[in-house]
């Protein structure tokens, strides 16, 4: 008999048994999306997801290494699962994501109870990895990086709810001096637009109303491997029937084009919100970060966006305590935050990462100074966000209803086009609908209101 067929038969037999998988995900939306892809692949292999790790036949930890703290979580999480292995020697424990890519074999040496280590470029090989573990009883480490995307590497995955996240590219070519992503996720490659559009159409057919396009730097979509520009792709996505809202993350300020900025005025479905990481308000630090824009460039993009779309939400990422950041540099960052009045900030203490240029800089900032700067920045932003949210009281905003509120099941939760969370009492029939909500309260992280009407309104 053909030897390959025997292996395939054995594989089919192997996956005819129902099994349970528990997945823990850390980090960014890319990782969340990778987890969704893994769930899709595993469903086809007869795995059901469970919320209790002790019931699982397979435990996967999808990891993040953007900061040292995130990396440490891998070890505490894996440590928690070790005891299940003692009770069930057949249990398979795997580590995927950026720490897997960064550490490879070292993870198996450090955590001998781990069976599987695979990086972000190898997710679609999960079936073969599991077959090798079960049939050949061997451990698997797969951390090759590729400059192209395989056919079928990204496919539509089972989706629940009305929102879908779709990777349009992977990797990053920017090599910001603090960032590990280009090393763990490899070079930038764009997916063909046809494949992306087919995936989104499939979601739309299953009731998805909102799609978020994902990439480390979506504005350079099409520059390595894609067939249209990012603006072209957005137009195509906005043209898909059934999709009512389109979002995207993350944008690099150096690549955000005028045509993209004007597109917000041309495409109704394009949500009025943009995440535009500033990182620092000091030109000297931006240069050392290799961000390739100045504060003035950044502010001119923001002022064009605000002039054209006064209600547009602009959020950002800021790192405090980058090597060499002086008190004056930090003050400049605070000044930009006061000037722009961001709708939200994700703020981080600089964390030296392996392989990165900035980790070799000698003038590292002491931890207590980083902590103090972070707290100061967060205090300032908390007041700005709360003020902005309060200023929306009295307005009726268009909300896409996502589901029941987690805090109070009698309430619904949804988001405005500018990505603010709105909670309000209402009937579950409204889930998936675009409704008008009259805002009665503005808090630091959300809005509250009362249901007004089920119709299209402007926000």
Q: Which segment (17-25, 36-44, 232-240, 345-353) binds ligand 5AD by CB under 6 A?
A: 345-353
- For 444, the 3-state DSSP assignment is coil
Determine, following the binding rule CB under 6 A, whether residue 23 of this chain makes contact with ligand 5AD.
no
Q: Nearer Cβ to ligand SF4, position 219 or 417?
A: 219
Q: Which two tokens stand for residue 60?
A: 């996967």
174 binds, among ligand 5AD, ligand SF4, none (CB under 5 to 8 A by kind): ligand SF4
Radius of gyration from C-alpha coordinates of the chain: 23
Q: Do residues 347 and 313 touch, judged by C-beta distance below 8 A?
A: no
272-417-421-164 Cα dihedral, nearest 10 degrees: -100
Q: Which does 350 bind (CB under 5 to 8 A by kind): ligand 5AD, ligand SF4, none?
A: ligand 5AD
Contact flag: residue 348 with ligand 5AD (CB under 6 A): yes
Q: How far is the CB of 275 from ligand 5AD (least distance, A)?
A: 9
Q: Considering only 12-20, 151-159, 167-175, 444-452, which stretch makes contact with ligand SF4 by CB under 6 A? A: 167-175
Phi, psi of 388 (to 5 degrees): -65, -45
CA distance 142 to 121: 9
Alpha carbon distance 395, 380 (integer Å): 25
CA distance 26 to 41: 19
Report d(CA 390, CA 448) in Å as an integer.
10
Which of ligand 5AD, ligand SF4, none binds 74 (CB below 5-8 Å, type-dependent)?
Answer: none
C-alpha dist (Å) from residue 337 to 58, 276, 308, 317, 416: 45, 13, 20, 11, 23
Residues in 57-96 that interact with ligand 5AD by CB under 6 A: 66-67
Instruction: Rule CB under 6 A: choose which of 178, 248, 298, 330 binds ligand 5AD.
Output: 178
Q: CB 71 → ligand 5AD: shortest distance, Å?
A: 11
Chain centre to alpha carbon of residue 319 = 18
Q: Which helix (H) or strand (E) holds 447?
A: strand 447-453
Of 220 and 416, CB closest to ligand SF4:
220
State which of residues 231, 351, 405, 423 lies at the interface with ligand 5AD (CB under 6 A).
351
DSSP 8-state code for residue 54: G
Q: Which helix (H) or strand (E) holds 345?
A: strand 344-349
Nearest approach in angstroms of CB 249 to ligand SF4 is: 11
CA distance 124 to 118: 10
- Site for ligand SF4, residues 244 to 273, rule: CB under 6 A: 252
Q: Judged by CB under 6 A, which stretch of 11-19, 88-96, 346-354, 440-448 contacts ligand 5AD?
A: 346-354
Residues 188-227 that bind ligand SF4 (CB under 6 A): 216-217
Comparison of 166 and 181: residue with beta carbon closer to ligand SF4? 181
Work out what residue 319 binds among ligand 5AD, ligand SF4, none; the CB cut-off runs from 5 to 8 Å by kind.
Answer: ligand 5AD
Check if the beta carbon of residue 339 is closer than 8 Å to that of residue 299. Answer: yes
Q: Which of 306, 310, 295, 191 lies closest to 253, judged by CA? A: 295
353, 373, 415, 420: which one binds ligand 5AD (CB under 6 A): 353
- When asked if residue 182 is in the footprint of ligand SF4 (CB under 6 A), the reply is yes
Using CA atoms, how far residue 62 sits from 96, 224, 357, in Å, is 5, 26, 26
Of 179, 285, 289, 337, the one binding ligand 5AD by CB under 6 A: 179
- Asked whether 24 and 61 are in contact (CB, 8 A), the reply is yes
| Footprint on this chain of ligand 5AD (rule: CB under 6 A) | 66-67, 178-179, 277, 279, 317, 319, 348, 350-351, 353
| Footprint on this chain of ligand SF4 (rule: CB under 6 A) | 172, 174-176, 179, 181-182, 216-217, 252
């Amino acid at each position: 008999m053909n030897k390959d067929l025997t292996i395939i038969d054995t594989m089919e037999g192997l996956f005819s048994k129902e099994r349970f998988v528990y997945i823990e995900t850390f980090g960014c939306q890319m990782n969340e999306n990778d987890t969704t892809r893994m769930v899709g692949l595993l469903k086809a292999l007869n795995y059901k997801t469970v919320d209790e790790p002790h019931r699982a036949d397979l435990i996967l930890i999808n990891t993040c290494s953007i900061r040292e703290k995130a990396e440490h979580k891998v070890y505490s999480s894996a440590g928690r699962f070790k005891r299940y292995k003692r009770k069930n020697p057949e249990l398979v424990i795997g580590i995927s994501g950026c720490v897997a890519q960064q550490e490879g074999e070292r993870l198996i040496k450090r955590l001998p109870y781990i069976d599987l280590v695979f990086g972000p470029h190898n997710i679609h090989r999960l079936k073969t990895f599991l077959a090798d573990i079960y049939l050949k009883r061997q451990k698997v480490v797969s951390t090759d990086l590729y400059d192209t995307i395989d056919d079928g590497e990204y496919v539509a995955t089972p989706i629940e709810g009305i929102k879908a996240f779709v990777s349009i590219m992977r990797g990053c070519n920017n090599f910001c001096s603090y960032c590990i992503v280009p090393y763990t996720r490899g070079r930038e490659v764009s997916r063909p637009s046809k494949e992306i559009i087919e995936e989104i159409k499939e979601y739309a057919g299953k009731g998805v109303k909102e799609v978020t396009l994902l990439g480390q730097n979506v504005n350079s979509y099409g520059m390595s491997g894609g067939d249209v520009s990012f603006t072209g792709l957005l137009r195509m996505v906005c043209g898909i029937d059934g999709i009512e809202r389109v979002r995207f993350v993350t944008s690099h300020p150096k690549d955000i084009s005028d045509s993209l900025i004007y597109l917000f005025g041309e495409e109704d479905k394009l949500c009025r919100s943009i995440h535009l990481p500033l990182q620092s308000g000091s030109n000297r630090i931006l240069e050392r970060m290799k961000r390739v824009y100045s504060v003035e460039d950044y502010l001119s993009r923001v002022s064009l966006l605000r002039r054209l779309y006064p209600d547009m939400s602009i959020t950002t990422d800021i790192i405090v305590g980058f090597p060499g950041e002086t008190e004056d540099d930090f003050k400049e960052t605070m000044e930009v935050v006061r000037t722009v009045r961001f709708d939200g900030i994700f703020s981080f203490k600089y964390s030296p990462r392996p392989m990165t240029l900035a980790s070799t800089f000698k003038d590292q900032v002491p931890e207590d100074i980083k902590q103090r700067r972070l707290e100061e920045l967060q205090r300032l932003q908390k007041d700005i966000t709360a003020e902005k949210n309060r200023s929306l009281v009295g307005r009726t905003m268009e909300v896409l209803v996502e589901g029941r509120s987690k805090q109070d099941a009698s309430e619904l939760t949804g988001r405005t086009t500018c990505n603010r969370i709105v909670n309000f009492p209402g009937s579950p029939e409204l889930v998936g609908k675009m409704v008008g909500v009259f805002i009665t309260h503005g808090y630091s992280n959300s809005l509250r209101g009362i249901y007004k009407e089920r119709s299209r309104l402007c926000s």
